[in-house]
């Protein structure tokens, strides 16, 4: 859904001493009201989507905090589709635990958080689908004006970080599959289709039949096994920027600069609009 404002995660209660005992402890822990802002840009947490964005271009991440977010039509449409498709009834933590324990199958979206390396990492995936109290799929939807059949490393890494956070929170991720779904942005859906799409995605994953949705909605399903070490390696690389051990590393790919909303103000831009 574009750049994640990590400051909005301040409401997530976090106490590193109690994370990791069990998934129930991780969800219902009595914790500090907020974590200390110990990272670059006075951040208490680093978002999963922000770490993914670093793989795209760290200069863009730097600009998001020093210049501020620049709205674009692409972001607005993507945010709108996410809000429409993944709208869920809010649950408190005790309710969430009860539903995970008692429901044969459950789709939920909630804050994930854990300490990884020297960082506190947090994020909210579009959906986590549980079967028999175990996370079976993490679902992340990305809209694009380009080719939905292309898998970008930064988007893949975002969903991999979500998988790692679930694991660090104590969930059994031995049967977890990461589902990154890229959908053509120009697709026009009725309100009924939007509300039904998450259910259709869930059924397609359960039945392992995605071809119909891929054709109907111009989308591609990228299904990947959870491998925690891949996300750990990315976070180990990313943390040096947040710990002020190095400056932002800009991309060397002009095409990324061409599509970036900061290309006319970024000191590192390889593309300057005429």
Q: How far apart are CA 156 and CA 220, in angstroms?
A: 13
Assign domain 6-259 to its CATH architecture: Alpha-Beta Complex (3.90)
Which residue, among 270, 184, 165, has the nearest Cα to 228 in the 3D structure? 165
Reduced to 3 states (helix: H, G, I; strand: E, B; else coil), residue 137 is strand
Residues 22-39: what's their mean pLDDT? 73
Residue 21: the pLDDT is 66
Task: Name the residue among 259, 258, 273, 252 with its Cα closest to residue 58.
Answer: 252
152 secondary structure, DSSP code: P
Question: Does the pLDDT value for residue 16 go beyond 90?
Answer: no
β-bridge partners, 148: none
E strand or H helix that includes residue 195? helix 191-207
Q: Residue 114 burial (CB < 10 Å; 0-12/13-18/19+)?
A: buried
21 vs 250, higher pLDDT: 250
Give the CA distances from residue 79 to residues 4, 100, 126, 182, in Å, rounded to whole numbers and listed in that order: 11, 27, 11, 14
- The pLDDT of residue 9: 41
pTM of structure: 0.84
Report percent pLDDT > 70 for the chain.
80
Segment 147-166 mean pLDDT: 95
Tens digits of residue pLDDT in 210-254: 999 999 889 999 999 999 999 999 999 999 999 999 999 999 999
* Separation CA 105–CA 100 (nearest Å): 8
Determine the length of the chain.
Answer: 274
Is 90 or 179 the better-scoring residue by pLDDT? 179
What's the token pair of residue 151? 């898998």
């Amino acid at each position: 859904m574009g750049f994640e404002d990590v400051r909005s995660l301040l409401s997530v209660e976090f106490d590193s001493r109690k994370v990791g005992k069990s998934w129930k402890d991780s969800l219902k822990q009595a914790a500090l009201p907020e974590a200390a802002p110990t990272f670059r840009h006075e951040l208490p947490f680093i978002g999963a989507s922000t770490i993914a964005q670093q793989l795209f271009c760290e200069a863009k991440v730097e600009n998001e905090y020093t210049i501020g977010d620049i709205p674009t039509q692409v972001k607005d449409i993507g945010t709108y589709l996410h809000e429409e498709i993944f709208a869920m009834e809010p649950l408190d933590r005790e309710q969430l635990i009860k539903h995970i324990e008692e429901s044969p199958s459950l789709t939920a979206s909630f804050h994930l958080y854990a300490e990884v390396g020297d960082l506190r990492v947090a994020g909210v995936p579009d959906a986590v689908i549980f079967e028999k109290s175990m996370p079976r799929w993490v679902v992340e939807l990305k809209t694009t004006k380009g080719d939905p059949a292309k898998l970008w490393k930064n988007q893949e890494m975002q969903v991999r970080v979500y998988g790692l956070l679930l694991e660090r929170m104590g969930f059994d991720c031995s049967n977890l599959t990461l589902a990154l779904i890229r959908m053509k942005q120009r697709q026009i859906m009725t309100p009924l289709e939007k509300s039904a799409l998450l259910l259709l995605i869930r059924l397609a994953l359960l039945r392992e039949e995605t071809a119909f949705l891929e054709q109907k909605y111009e989308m591609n399903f990228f299904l990947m096994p959870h491998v925690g070490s891949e996300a750990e390696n990315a976070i180990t690389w990313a943390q040096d920027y947040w710990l002020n051990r190095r400056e932002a590393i800009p991309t060397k790919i002009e095409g990324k600069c061409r599509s970036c909303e900061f290309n006319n103000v970024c000191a590192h831009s390889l593309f300057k609009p005429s």
